[in-house]
Each structure stands twice: as C-alpha cells, then as structure tokens.
Amino acid sequence: NAGVTQTPKFQVLKTGQSMTLQCAQDMNHEYMSWYRQDPGMGLRLIHYSVGAGITDQGEVPNGYNVSRSTTEDFPLRLLSAAPSQTSVYFCATGTKQGRADTQYFGPGTRLTVL
Amino acid sequence: SQKIEQNSEALNIQEGKTATLTCNYTNYSPAYLQWYRQDPGRGPVFLLLIRENEKEKRKERLKVTFDTTLKQSLFHITASQPADSATYLCALELTGGGNKLTFGTGTQLKVEL
C-alpha cells in the first residue's frame, strides 16, 4: 500500500496563477484533510471531508477550493495564487468515519508563490 | 479563544536521559489528545492518543500523561537516543468540532551523544 501520496513535491507559481495539489489514498479512510504548515504557525487546517461528496471549511479556507468525488482523492485548488500561500501543504487521512482521530499524513508539497 | 502551547525553544538532552515535552491548552475540553513526530521535510507521524478519562498511556519508550484539570499533557521519551531527534507536535480536537484537529507549533528535540 502506498498510503497517502501527494503530487507534486515542489511547485513554483507566479502570483495569479492557479493550480491543483493532488492527494490520493489507498487506505479506504473516510476522513481526509488539507493542512498548511508555516514556520512558527504550526499546522493549520484548510479544508476537510468526512466522506465522498461532503466537504467543510477549516481554520484558513480562503483562497482554496476542494471537492471529494471519490473516497480515494481529495484535490486542493488554488484559484489565484498569492505570495501569502507560500507554504508546505500536507494532506492527511483519518481512521474513523466522521471523526478526526488518528491522522496519516502525506509527504507534503512545498509551494512557492512569487 | 482556544489555544495550544508547546515550548518553542529546542530541548537538548544527552543520550540515555529522559526527555519531557509539554503541551498546554486553554479554553478546550478535548475528548482526546494526540502526539505526533515530524522529521525535517516529512509529514507528521502519529505516535500516541490519550483520552480524557485516561491519566497515562505507554508505548515502548514513550509515555504520555493527560491532566484535564491542569489542561496539560506531558510526553516522555525514556532512554533517549539520537534517532529520537525530531519535532514533536501535540494535537487536540476542537471543542464541539467532531472532525477538526488543532495542532501545536511543536517542540524540537535534539538528543546528543
């Protein structure tokens, strides 16, 4: 099993560009989430999903969109990239339906917005 | 507002000693608390979960305590090794959130020979 995979590993964007960060899991976990991690700020929840077709906002959702059409995939879309979105992005899955509980993280995507 | 605090200063200890990391929280009534390990350039890895009705949890050389009166969790690594060097994060479920975890900023541990 691959666990949680994220692509790309690194990305450089110009201000105003859009892109999608991919996240896929093969653990059949209901719960998936996106975090960003910035120095001194810790991990902050962007969006999460408790199952296919259901998404909700986290702590810092502005500028990001998500959708969950399948259990396996949970892409994160940056609509119009801004330098403030420079960060490391982690996707995570959760073991229990409808609950955060133990989370399994992907390897991360390092995004730089110029 | 709800807040989680971990010591931002790195903790340096000698190999073989016990490392103790602290996680304090305010304005939470968490059902459980979790600890994660994060190595540079990698995603966090789950270590332990302790529930509000548990005072202590152990796993091999790791021990976690949870004091809901003091609103504090302590994370201990006994017989520490250089391989234990990493950043350790605590995480809480938001009050009434059900599905959202909030993470502390983490404490960096360095175990020296």
Q: Which pair of tokens denotes residue A95?
A: 């073991």
Question: What integer pLDDT is reported at residue B95 of this predicted model?
Answer: 58
**Model confidence over A16-43: pLDDT tens digits?**
999 999 999 999 988 899 999 998 888 9
Which pLDDT band, with edges at 50, 70 and 90, does A101 fall under? low
CB–CB contact B100 A58 (8 Å)? yes
Residue A67 has pLDDT above 90, yes or no: yes
- For residue B5, the chain A residue with the least C-alpha distance is A42
Residue B19 has pLDDT above 50, yes or no: yes
Q: Are strands A4-7 and A19-25 parallel, antiparallel or unpaired?
A: antiparallel
Residue B6 has pLDDT above 90, yes or no: yes
**Model confidence over B76-107: pLDDT tens digits?**
999 999 999 999 999 987 655 556 788 999 99
Shortest Cα–Cα distance, B98 to chain A (Å): 6
Q: Which of B9, B8, B7, B17 is nearest to B112 (CA)?
A: B17
Which pLDDT band, with edges at 50, 70 and 90, does B38 fall under? very high
Question: What integer pLDDT is reported at residue A19 of this predicted model?
Answer: 96
Label each residue of chain B as H, E or C. Answer: CCEEEECCCCEEEECCCCEEEEEEEECCCCCEEEEEEECCCCCCEEEEEEECCCCEEEECCEEEEEECCCCEEEEEECCCCHHHCEEEEEEEECCCCCCCEEECCCEEEEEEC
The whole-chain average pLDDT of chain A stands at 92
* Cβ pair B112, B16 in contact under 8 A: no
Residue A100 has pLDDT above 60, yes or no: no
Question: What integer pLDDT is reported at residue B97 of this predicted model?
Answer: 55
Region B4-20: what's the mean pLDDT?
A: 94
Question: What integer pLDDT is reported at residue A53 of this predicted model?
Answer: 94
CA A72 to CA A4: how far, in whole Å? 9
CB–CB contact A106 B43 (8 Å)? yes
Contacts of B103 in chain A (CB under 8 A): 35, 42-44
* Cβ pair A92, A4 in contact under 8 A: yes
The residues, ordered by sequence, that sit 6+ positions from B43 with a Cβ below 8 Å of its Cβ are A4, A90, A92, A105, A106, A107, A108
> DSSP secondary-structure letter at A52?
T
How many beta-carbon pairs below 8 A join chains A and B? 61
